[in-house]
Amino acid sequence: MAAPFLEVENLCKHFGELRAVDGASFHVGQDEMVGLIGPNGAGKTTLMRLITGILKPTSGTVRFKGEDITGQDTAKIVNKGIAPTFQVVKPFRHLPVGANVMVSCLCPRAKRRGDWVKTVELRARDALEFCGIADLALEPASVVSHGDLKRLEVARAIATEPELLLLDEPFGGLSPAETELMGKFLRRLHRGGRFGRLHSEGPAMVIVEHKLSDLMKIVDRVIVLSFGQIIVEGTPDEVVRNKEVIEAYIGKEVSSLVS
């Protein structure tokens, strides 16, 4: 049997007494789009940060394509093909939007795997065009609207030519129309076709999200996190009907779950 694509085993992160992530185990397949949901403070962001090495886990292992990458340097992990985005957008504010993406195009992985016919500028432009913000390429990131910064986050991540995208609340703070657009766009990105290489599979994705109804439309599988532990895993339909999930959310989101 081939080793699973991403394999998280018994991952723990303790902040003093607080167990932000407490023994999470799950895996993600090479062609999967997985949703990660859970109430506020459940430890979703922390879990993402553990996988990309921004935080070092207290215990447990993360394996990517059979290789142990637990606690490695973030840049190294990104160059192996896992690209994160941040919940709170963190662009290079004084750089133009185009230069923001260009930085990703300059990482060793993007240099190696990117379209070799194209200059770095053109590659950055490709990523921006794919995300629909090519017209902002020359504007400094500090003057760009929040919705466009969210897209810039994704553009910056896909410019590293990832095989696995970890998106932390990509719909956060977006209007309903923007959310729908972003959802469709992520779906299209996952289907693959043209991005980066001429023949591309499209990256696998883990999407952390609060807006459950929008998330359920686009993912294949959902993992529910509560108090740092995975309580349920299944298809969107199964999860929506699950009693534990409804309890975890104490009914407040159930209306949106069912709709």
Partner 1 sequence: MGSYLYRLYRGFQGEILAVPGRVIALIFVTLLFLLPHIIPHPLVLKIFSLAALFAIFAASWDFLSGFTGQLNLGHALFFGVSAYSAALLNVHLGVPPWATIPIGAIAGVIAGLLVGIPALRLRGFYLALVTLAFPIILIGVIFVFPDITGGELGLFGVDRLSGSRVLDYYIILLVATASILVMWKLTDGRSKIVRTGVILHAIREDEITARASGINTVRYKLMVFSISGFFAGVAGGLYAHYIRIAGPSILELFFSFQPIIWTIFGGIVTIYGAVAGVFILYPLVELVRLHPVGEIYRIVLMVLILIVVLLFMPQGITRWVRDHIEEICPRCKLINIRTRRYCRACRAPLRAEK
Residues of this chain that bind partner 1 (CB under 8 A): 52, 54, 73-76, 78-79, 83-84, 86, 90-96, 99-100, 102-104, 106-110, 119-121, 138, 156-157, 159-160
128 CA to centre of own chain: 17
CB of 92 to partner 1, least distance (A): 4
Burial 63-100 (b: 16+ CB within 10 A, else e): bbbeeebbebeeeebbbbbbbbbbbebebeeeebbbbb
Report what 60 binds from Mg ion, ligand ADP, partner 1, none; CB cut-off 5-8 Å by kind. none
Name which of 87 and 160 has its Cβ closer to Mg ion: 87
Member of 8, 11, 37, 42 binding ligand ADP (CB under 6 A): 42
Q: Could you give the string, one character per residue 157-176, with x where binding to ligand ADP holds by CB under 6 A and - elsewhere? A: --------------------
How far lies 63's CA from each of 1, 55, 68, 98, 156, in Å? 15, 16, 4, 33, 24
Q: Is 44 in the site for ligand ADP (CB under 6 A)?
A: yes
Cα separation, 234 vs 86, in Å, equals 25
Member of 5, 37, 45, 126 binding Mg ion (CB under 5 A): 45
Exposure of 177 by Cβ count < 10 A (0-12 exposed, 13-18 middle, 19+ buried)? exposed
Interface with Mg ion (CB under 5 A)? 45, 87
Interface with ligand ADP (CB under 6 A)? 15, 18, 20, 38, 40-46
